[in-house]
Structure 1
């Protein structure tokens, strides 16, 4: 039995070492890109360093539903290609900060998916390892907020050993049915 535990420990350590190596490789690939990027479920923000003293009129930025190109006029683009997912062009913007940083903000069409990369031909990240920032319930749209609140309520009820909201509804429906049909025997009735 001690051998099995030792074997599992080694496997766990190997797994952690492999994950660490994969993360380091992913970080190196991302660092080699000519831009930095981060995302939330609904949007992607890209930061591109340009020569100090650059003015807005010196830049050529093209944002379309499926493509992005950012560069200096008369030169090869700093980044150019097909976006990994579609964006809402009308809600996407770019600005020049301190005459040396181009900030590109892209609004995702599908605000429920993490992007693996910005441009399809660039290295991918492992989206399963993304840890989203804590969001407030007030940030959510009405339908999603209602769903999250119901899940939280049901989870709290389960922890207290009480029925969930769906189970409560079933029990209330059964009680109502019992009152309407006192002639029936409900002693073996099960709610599932």
Structure 2
């Protein structure tokens, strides 16, 4: 296939995108992390401020964080709705000053966010490694599902059978062993 990037070229453009993304994210006046279920924003501010000096509003679809009378650190629409009742903010003292910590509980706990607010630069959510989301936090059934999806994805990438296809193959092998008199040369797995 002409025009298709080589793995080296793809790796290079991925690295460039990653560097650009990292630079964009570093330029934001806040840091943020997420798991599949929640998102945390941290904003370092001067230690002289107290909770009453802050203007923090969390609604289902928007977030505003500011020191009263100053340009907001964040003020905009969220890309996806949050659970307002489970979302909180705190002011914590650090060595350097204080941090405003905003915890957002995602309404849909099965999706990655590309950014905190829609006007901020996006990250490539397809590059997120699910192990960053603590798989141990998921309930057994969900965790099993996610692990199976990850395993199946790896198998597909390597051109190997997924867990369901492997099950069929194993069952067929077992059946063949039990019925040596039958001819399976024309059998198709569908």
Task: With the length of structure 1 as denominator, give the TM-score of the two structures.
Answer: 0.71
CA shift digits 1:5-62 (9 cap, x unpaired) = xx99x83322221111111111111011110001000000000011122211111100
**Selected match of 1:66 from 61, 73, 79:** 61
The number of equivalent residue pairs is: 165
Q: Does 1:75 align with 2:70?
A: yes
Q: Does 1:11 align with 2:6?
A: yes
Bigger Rg over Cα: 1
**Selected match of 1:39 from 34, 38, 42:** 34
Residue aligning to 1:97:
92
Give, in whole Å, the separation in 2 of the partners of 1:147 and 1:21.
33
Give the superposed CA RMSD.
Answer: 3.6
1:69–1:80 Cα contact (<8 Å) kept: yes
Residue 132 of structure 1: how far off its partner (Å) = 2.0
**Selected match of 1:20 from 15, 18, 24:** 15
Give, in whole Å, the separation in 1 of the partners of 2:23 and 2:146.
37
* Worse-superposed segment, 14-23 or 61-70: 14-23
Give, in whole Å, the separation in 1 of the partners of 2:130 and 2:20.
21
Q: Secondary structure at the match of 1:90?
A: helix
1:96–1:102 Cα contact (<8 Å) kept: yes
Give, in whole Å, the separation in 1 of the partners of 2:133 and 2:34.
14
Unaligned runs of 5+ residues in structure 1 are: 172-186
Residue 145 of structure 1: how far off its partner (Å) = 4.7
* Worse-superposed segment, 138-147 or 53-62: 138-147
Distance 1:149 1:84, change over 3 A: closer
Give, in whole Å, the separation in 1 of the partners of 2:26 and 2:103.
19
Task: With the length of structure 2 as denominator, give the TM-score of the two structures.
Answer: 0.71
Unaligned runs of 5+ residues in structure 2 are: 152-161, 176-181
Q: Does 1:84 align with 2:84?
A: no
Give, in whole Å, the separation in 1 of the partners of 2:13 and 2:144.
40
